[in-house]
Structure 1
Amino acid sequence: MNAEPADQIRLLEVQALDARIAQLDHKRRTLPEHTELERLGADLAQLRDLLVAAQTEESDTAREQTKAEQDVDQVRQRAVRDQQRLDSGAVGPKDLENLSRELTSLAKRQSDLEDVVLDVMERRETAQERATELAARVESLQAKTAEAEARKSAALEGLDAEGFTASKQREVLASTVPDDLIKLYDKLRAQQGGVGAARLYQKRCEGCRLELNITELNDVRAAPANQVVRCENCRRILVRTADSGL
């Protein structure tokens, strides 16, 4: 394949733009905010689960407290009624004895139930404090997540703008390179990890970083300036310049 030396030089400019576009794509994929947001998301999900558990416990203990207080109230009302009967003097000796025993039993029952109420109240207060703490931590993480999202969006916006400019430059420049040469370049670039053309610099291919041996150098020296030569090692298009060392 033949192509004017100027076209081959422009191919190096296309390659430089392709390398820049690839770098921008890599930066876009590897922004530190991606990892940060993954970590924040995992932490936030865990905290939300803990918050739901604490809120559920608070709700459960609230119902448990209401039930325990109702039990205490029922026992207290029963004791009041028994005491009123006892104070009325309208009961016989046997009922009097029974009422006295029941009042004693109810007093013990009320005391036990009041202990239950206190225990439930303590557990509810602990759950409330835990829920409040977790809610604050969730809010803090949400703020950090929003801030990281904003940084990521700003970074992506800048990279996208730079990538768009480079892509347009590449499109314009590639249109000035002969079709058969740009097609070969694109094919090789796809095969060779994004590098389809490399400069021959000081007898070394900048694509594979290997120095050409004397036979390869003599072949390149003998090739007409408009001949498209290829590196014998990596098969990329080898572009000759004033610094090729020929």
Structure 2
Amino acid sequence: MKADPAVQRRLLDLAEVDAELARVTHRRRTLPEIAEIAEAERQVRAKQDALVAIETTLTDLDRDVKRQETEIDQVRAREERDRKLMQAGSVGAKQLTDLEHELATLERRQGILEDDLLELMERREAVEADVSYARVALDKSRETLEDAARRRDTALADLESTETRRTADRSMMTKGFPDDLLKLYDRQREQRGIGAALVQSRRCGACRIELDRSAMSKLKEAAADEVVRCEECGAILVRTSESGL
């Protein structure tokens, strides 16, 4: 295949554009914000689960406190009824004795219930503080997630802008190449990542392997318009004054 040397040299400009587009694609896949978002989402889920668990404990304690208060109210109501019976003086001696015994029992029971209620209230206060802490922790995790998402979106927008601009550049550039040369270049680029490279200081700019004497001899003997390729990687070798030929 033959192509004007100036056209072949323009392949280097095309290769530079393609390299930038490849970097955009690679960066889009490997943005650090993507890993940050995954971790932040994991943290949010964990914090949400922790908050639900603590709030459930608080709900259970509220129910226990209400039940305990109800039981204390019932004991107090029974105690008040017994005292009224005693104060009315309408009961006999035996019933009076029974009422006094029951009042003593109720007083002891009330003391135990009130102690248990105090313990429940103390536990509830501690759990309520844990709920507040868990909500703050969840809010912070959500803020971290939102920040990472914003930075990801900004980075993606920048990459999209670069890709759009360089794709337009590429479209304009490819109009100046013969079809067969462009097809060869694109096929090589798709297979190996680099379609064309400069021969510089006896090295292929694509695979960076130093060309041996035989390869260098072939390059020197090849006509200026001959399209030559690297024997190692297949890239189109572009020759300039920097090639050392």
Q: What TM-score results when the alignment is normalised by the length of structure 2? A: 0.95
- Once the two structures are superposed, what CA deviation does each residue of 1:156-182 show, in whole Å capped at 9, x if it has no partner? 211211111111101111121111111
Which blocks of at least 5 consecutive residues in structure 1 are unaligned?
none
What residue number does 1:176 align with?
176
**Is 1:54 aligned with 2:41?**
no
Check conservation: 1:11, 1:174, Cα contact below 8 A: no
Q: How many residues end up aligned between the 2 structures?
A: 245
What residue number does 1:227 align with?
226
What residue number does 2:42 align with?
42
Amino acid at match of 1:84: K
- The CA RMSD measured in Å over matched residues stands at 1.4
- Once the two structures are superposed, what CA deviation does each residue of 1:202-232 show, in whole Å capped at 9, x if it has no partner? 2111111111111111111111111111111
Q: Residues of 2 paired with 1:107 and 1:16: CA distance?
A: 91
The alpha-carbon deviation at position 101 of structure 1 amounts to: 1.4
How much identity, in percent, do the aligned residues show?
39
Check conservation: 1:51, 1:134, Cα contact below 8 A: yes
Runs of 4+ in 1 over 4 A off after TM superposition: none
What residue number does 1:161 align with?
161
The alpha-carbon deviation at position 46 of structure 1 amounts to: 1.2
Give runs of aligned pairs for residues 1-246 of structure 1, distance below 5 A: 1-192=1-192, 194-246=193-245
3-state SS, counterpart of residue 112 of structure 2: helix
3-state SS, counterpart of residue 16 of structure 2: helix
Q: Residues of 1 paired with 2:224 and 2:139: CA distance?
A: 67
Q: Residues of 1 paired with 2:86 and 2:197: CA distance?
A: 110
Amino acid at match of 2:135: A
Q: Residues of 2 paired with 1:145 and 1:191: CA distance?
A: 38
Q: Residues of 2 paired with 1:139 and 1:79: CA distance?
A: 49
Which blocks of at least 5 consecutive residues in structure 2 are unaligned?
none
Q: Residues of 2 paired with 1:85 and 1:62: CA distance?
A: 35
